[in-house]
Amino acid sequence: ENDEIVHVPFSKAIKKDKPIKKELVNVLKALSI
């Protein structure tokens, strides 16, 4: 049960982190042009 409690917030954190990474990539691409 403890593993589930740890994995759920972790997966949510990963999902929240993906859009941020995409934005950073877009910014880096814009700066490199």
| SS3 (DSSP) at 33 | coil
- Answer whether 0.75 is exceeded by the pTM: no
Q: Give the CA distances from residue 5 to residues 2, 8, 13, 16, 25, in Å, rounded to whole numbers and listed in that order.
A: 5, 6, 13, 17, 31
Q: For 1-33, what is each residue's pLDDT tens digit? A: 556 656 666 667 666 667 777 888 888 889 886
Q: What's the CA angle centered on 14, arms 13 and 19, to 5 degrees? A: 100
Give the pair of three-digit tokens for residue 8: 């759920």
